[in-house]
Amino acid sequence: MLSPLLVKPAPAGREIVNVSPERAGWTHVGFRALRLKPMESATVDTGTRELCLVVLTGTVDVTVDGISYMNLGSRKSVFEEVSPAAVYVPVGKTVTVGNVPGASTVAEVALCTAPGKGGSGTVSVIDSTAMRRSVRGKGSNTRYVCDILPHDDPRAAHLLVVEVITPAGNSSSYPPHKHDQETPPSETLLEEIYYHRLNPPQGFAFQRVYTDDRSLDETCAVEDHDVVMVPRGYHPVVAPHGYDLYYLNVMAGPNRFWVFKNDPVHEWMVDPQSSAFACSYRSA
């Protein structure tokens, strides 16, 4: 039986996956992934929600209320060491995204949404050359991060978007951490989507979502194009030997600030002063 947190993709057709707030049973995050064949397009209205459109692969043209942004995106694979093209769109806009004329390959785009703010927002192409790229962790916990729409980007109201590549054999979102309590400055509440890709695509990875009291404790075997919904709890990921893992994270909550809390029993990995480290050391 599939985990209730796991959303499987459609094997064919324009829409790969669609997770609305209603389907997820939460308030903020919405996510769609689309595959656009040559000359194919899709149109969406943002309504009361803000949108970050991420060009995962291929090249597309994006039109917002009649103004066009041409030839966005250059990646053939999400595993290239290149930041994606992305467009931020505020509330009350009509957006059309289409594979560029003359394209010979399918383009893949992500539509990441959250409640927006009223008034006259500004449509903007997010400069891929200015996206922060960083390395987190060390050893088998090393992963590579690209901040597409981080919490210190002032253009969004609630939405945060980031992509991560975890090399084969490595762990990610690790030590296990959570952000399900609105208790700043120690922790903030953010719902989260993981959109997974595997290289080679026939691979798989594992993601666990669990709370301290284990009232939620689900482990998902994720495959290419799968979505894992994280409504609360810790949510580590592991990529088996032989398969690199990419995921696109979409987060949103009542306030646009990312502060996480590590699982105390695993805090020793990053804080040698923790009581968990002392217990581990004494038992070694």
pLDDT digits (tens, 9 = 90+) for 212-227: 999 999 999 999 999 9
Question: 147 has which bridge partners?
Answer: 132, 162
Q: Is residue 275 part of a domain?
A: no
Residue 274: the pLDDT is: 54
Higher-confidence residue of 234 and 271: namely 234
Q: How far apart are CA 192 and CA 227, in angstroms?
A: 10
Q: What is the pLDDT of residue 120?
A: 61
Whether residue 270 is contained in a domain is answered as no
Structure tokens at 102: 């003359």
Which residue in 180, 154, 161, 57 sits closest to 109, CA to CA?
57
Please tell me the predicted confidence (pLDDT) of residue 209: 98
Give the per-residue pLDDT at 117. Answer: 87
Q: Report if residue 101 sits inside a domain.
A: yes
Cβ 251 vs Cβ 223: under 8 Å: no
Does pLDDT of 249 surpass 50?
yes
Residue 61 located in a structural domain: yes
Whether 40 is covered by a domain: the verdict is: yes
**248-278 b/e with 16+ CB inside 10 Å = b?**
bbbbbbeebbbbebbbeebbbbeeeebebbe
Contact 96, 42 (CB under 8 A): yes
Residue 276: which pLDDT band, with cuts at 50, 70 and 90?
very low
Q: How many CB atoms lie within 10 A of CB 82?
A: 16
pLDDT at residue 281 is higher than 60: no
Tell me what percent of the residues of the chain surpass a pLDDT of 90: 89
- Total of domains in the chain: 1
pLDDT tens digits, one per residue of 110-137: 999 999 987 667 999 999 999 999 999 9
pLDDT band, residue 175 (cuts 50/70/90) = very high
Range of the domain at 25: 6-263
274 within some domain: no
**Please, which pLDDT band fits residue 2 given cuts at 50, 70 and 90?**
confident
pLDDT (tens digit per residue) in 12-50: 999 999 999 999 999 999 999 999 999 999 999 999 999
Domain annotation covers residue 283: no
198-227 burial, b if ≥16 CB within 10 A, otherwise e? bbeeebbbebbbbeeeeebebebebbbbbb
Find all residues with CB under 8 Å of 135, minimum gap 6, and list them. Answer: 142, 143, 144, 145
Does residue 181 register a pLDDT over 80?
Answer: yes
CATH of the domain at 131: 2.60.120.10
Per residue in 66-115, pLDDT (tens digit) is: 999 999 999 999 999 999 999 999 999 999 999 998 888 999 999 999 99
pLDDT at 58 over 50: yes
Residue 169 lies in a domain: yes
